């Protein structure tokens, strides 16, 4: 029996956590439904993660603010490049950490101090490596996340995807557009 797709339009409702939701729920919401995305460590080296993520966000028409940050650049990818969080035109919401591991802990602390609600650490070089320095950085990062209360994915993370928001800050590419659809779970497999 062939599956049939409905051609009728349907309204996709945007979910928001209740005002009394836990900080963790609010942080995860910020990660998947960010008002803006800040790419810290933006660089124009061909094929790098920052450029791939930027291109995905543009390709899939993310509607929030996009702010590349690199203290050594004035422009990148045809848009202004900001020196730091203080120079952004608005408070950061979701931060992508694309700097070397030795700078990532400070970026997390600075992001939280600037008002960010969540972060994805794309950077590698932490506990996946076995050397003493990488292990020390992993512990510092864990402590910084705990102290700041940011909702964080990573390190060594490809990114997060929220198809309903056309939010694809991921470092991989796809050949077709993301399409929002009904959610399903083991507890509710028939929901549509």
| Tens-digit pLDDT profile for residues 133-143 | 999 999 999 99
pTM value is 0.78
Across the range 48-70, mean pLDDT stands at 86
Identify the pLDDT of residue 174: 58
The verdict on residue 6 lying in a domain is no
The model's pLDDT over 177-192, given as tens digits with 9 standing for 90+, comes to 555 555 544 554 554 4
Across the range 22-43, mean pLDDT stands at 86
Classify strands 79-80 and 94-97 as parallel, antiparallel or unpaired: unpaired
Identify the pLDDT of residue 81: 95
The verdict on residue 126 lying in a domain is yes
The verdict on residue 52 lying in a domain is yes
Q: 42 lies in which domain range?
A: 23-165
* Residue 41: pLDDT over 50: yes
Identify the pLDDT of residue 38: 95
- The share of the chain scoring above pLDDT 90, in percent, equals 43
CATH number, residue 53: 3.40.50.720
The verdict on residue 35 lying in a domain is yes
- The residues facing 132 across adjacent strands are none
Identify the pLDDT of residue 180: 54
The structural domain count of the chain equals 1
**Neighbouring residues of 39: CB distance < 8 A, sequence distance ≥ 6:** 50, 53, 54, 66, 67, 68, 69, 96, 98
């Amino acid at each position: 029996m062939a599956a049939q797709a409905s051609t009728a339009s349907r309204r996709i409702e945007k979910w928001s956590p209740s005002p009394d939701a836990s900080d963790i729920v609010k942080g995860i919401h910020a990660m998947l439904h960010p008002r803006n995305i800040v790419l810290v460590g933006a660089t124009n080296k061909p094929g790098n993660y920052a450029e791939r993520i930027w291109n995905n966000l543009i390709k899939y028409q993310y509607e929030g603010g996009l702010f590349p940050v690199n203290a050594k650049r004035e422009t990148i990818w045809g848009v202004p490049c900001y020196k730091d969080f203080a120079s952004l035109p608005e408070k950061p919401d979701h931060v992508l950490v694309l700097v070397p591991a030795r700078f990532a802990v400070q970026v997390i602390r600075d992001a939280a101090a600037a008002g960010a609600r969540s972060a994805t650490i794309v950077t590698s070089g932490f506990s996946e490596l076995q050397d003493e320095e990488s292990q020390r950085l992993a512990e510092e990062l864990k402590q910084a996340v705990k102290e700041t209360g940011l909702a964080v994915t990573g390190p060594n993370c490809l990114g997060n995807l929220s198809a309903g928001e056309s939010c694809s800050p991921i470092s991989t590419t796809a050949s077709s557009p993301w399409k929002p659809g009904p959610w399903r779970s083991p507890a509710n497999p028939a929901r549509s």
